[in-house]
């Protein structure tokens, strides 16, 4: 695997998060924005719109030049195909380089 795919991701002993590839992210942002426009025509809670608009902004931030992303090492350097899942977790927890 030479690139990170959209889905759950964990670095070391940190919380599991979700990585969304830029090509997926832009599409999700567009669809959520359209859904929010429709929801705005109803009497749903404005707090939902505030939270979801922030999420849409985060998703839209994946566009090239939209914001400065958090820089990571190349994916191949973060993942070792020669290790089992348990071995990879031990390496990550130890702080050793892959």
* pLDDT, averaged across the chain: 78
d(CA 6, CA 27) in angstroms, rounded, equals 13
Percent of the chain at pLDDT exceeding 70 = 73
**Which of the two residues, 23 and 66, has the higher pLDDT score?**
23
In the 3-class helix/strand/coil scheme, how is the chain assigned residue by residue?
Answer: CCCCCCEEECCCCCCCEEECCHHHHHHHHHHHHHHHHHHCCCCCCHHHHHHHHHHHHHHHCCCCCCCCCCCCCCHHHHCCCCCCHHHHHHHHHHCCCC
pLDDT at 84 over 80: no
d(CA 88, CA 9) in angstroms, rounded, equals 13
| Whether pTM exceeds 0.75 | no
pLDDT tens for 35-55 read 988 888 888 888 888 888 888
């Amino acid at each position: 695997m030479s690139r990170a795919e959209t889905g759950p991701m964990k670095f070391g002993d940190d919380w599991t998060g979700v990585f969304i590839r830029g090509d997926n992210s832009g599409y999700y942002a567009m669809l959520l924005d359209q859904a929010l426009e429709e929801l705005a025509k109803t009497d749903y809670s404005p707090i939902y719109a505030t939270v979801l608009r922030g999420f849409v902004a985060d998703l839209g931030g994946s566009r090239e030049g939209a914001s400065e992303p958090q820089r990571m090492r190349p994916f191949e350097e973060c993942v070792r195909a020669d290790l089992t899942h348990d071995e990879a977790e031990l390496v990550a927890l130890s702080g050793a380089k892959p």
